[in-house]
Structures are given as C-alpha cells and as structure tokens.
Structure 1
Amino acid sequence: MSSERYLNHPTFGMLYQVSPGNNGRDIYATLYAQKMFFLVEVRQREIFFEVIPYLDARNQAELNLQKARRKGSADLSKWDNLFKQTFL
C-alpha cells in the first residue's frame, strides 16, 4: 500500500491527497476543514494549486475508484477508505 501524501498550501495549511487525478494533477483537500478541494500539479520547482468544487473532486475520486476496481489495484482499499472518510 502506498503511503499518504501531504502538501502545505501557503494560505490554507496542510492538504492531504484524496485521489490521483488526470494529466499529472492530483486531488487534495484541506486537512482540517475538508471543505476545500484542489487540483495540484507538482513540477520540478513549482507547485500549482487550482481550487475545484466539491462535486468535481468527488466525481474524480469515484472515477479513480472505478479504475482501481477494474485493474484489481493493491491500493483499492486505501482509495476506498479515503473516499468514505472524505465524501460520505
């Protein structure tokens, strides 16, 4: 199982990875409030944050779960637990 991933946002503090995204951009949520979601792209020396709506983050996380189920991914239980903790 992969380890958890965290980032520090300059304004909103600690973020945790909710789901891998598309095109090298992952979905993160604020650690404490769990109300704000970000698409995060990490490049060599820069990190780009883009605020996204709750429903977009949930939709992307559901797509990730479906993909993990189809592939029989070893990380399925991790992503399923994160989905339940974050969105249900």
Structure 2
Amino acid sequence: MSAERYLNHPTFGLLYRVCPAGEAQEVYATLYAQRMFFRVSHHGRGANFDSMPLLDARHLAEQNLLRERRNRSVDLPLWQKLFDQTFI
C-alpha cells in the first residue's frame, strides 16, 4: 500500500483515502467527522467528488479487503487497520 493519501475538498476540507473503488476512482472520508464519504474520480488535472452513503463506502472497503485477502497481499494488515479505524 502506498503512503497515506489526502485531498482537499472545496467545501468539507481535508479528506483521507479509505480504499480504491475501481479504475481511476477512490473512496475518501472527511478527516475530522469521518462520517461523510466521497467517491473521487480522477481525470486529467481535476477530480470529481460524488458523495456516497456510509454503507456504500463500507461495502467498497469490504470488497477491497476481500480482494487483498485473495491476493495474499502484504498490505492486508494496513488495509484492515484502516477499515477498522474508519468503520468500527
């Protein structure tokens, strides 16, 4: 897993990366409230922020954990810790 990633949202401030969500997309959460989630699509030099419900973000994060387990990734403990800190 690469180093922690952060983005600055124009309204909600600093966001941290929770997990990947497909090609050129990732799930981010607000740093302080940790209950607002966004699917961020990267394109060119910009990004598109789409808000998403907690359960959808949790589902994507669980899928990411399952994928890491299947691949026997060395990053699994890091993703598991991030999941636990964010959703439990």
The alignment's TM-score, normalised by the length of structure 1, stands at 0.96
Quote the Cα distance in structure 1 between the aligned partners of 2:2 and 2:74: 9
Shift of 1:23: 2.8
Aligned-residue CA RMSD (Å): 0.8
Give the distance between the partners of 2:76 and 2:28, measured in 1 at CA.
18
Q: What is the total number of aligned residue pairs between the two structures?
A: 88
1:76, distance to aligned residue in structure 2 (A) = 0.8
- Taking every aligned residue pair, what percent have the same amino acid on both sides? 56
Question: Unpaired segments of 5 or more residues in structure 2?
Answer: none
| Structure 2 Cα separation of the partners of residues 82 and 48 of structure 1 | 23
**1:52-67 map, 5 Å:** 52-67=52-67
**1:6-85 to 2 correspondence within 5 Å?**
6-85=6-85
Moved more, 54-63 or 17-26: 17-26
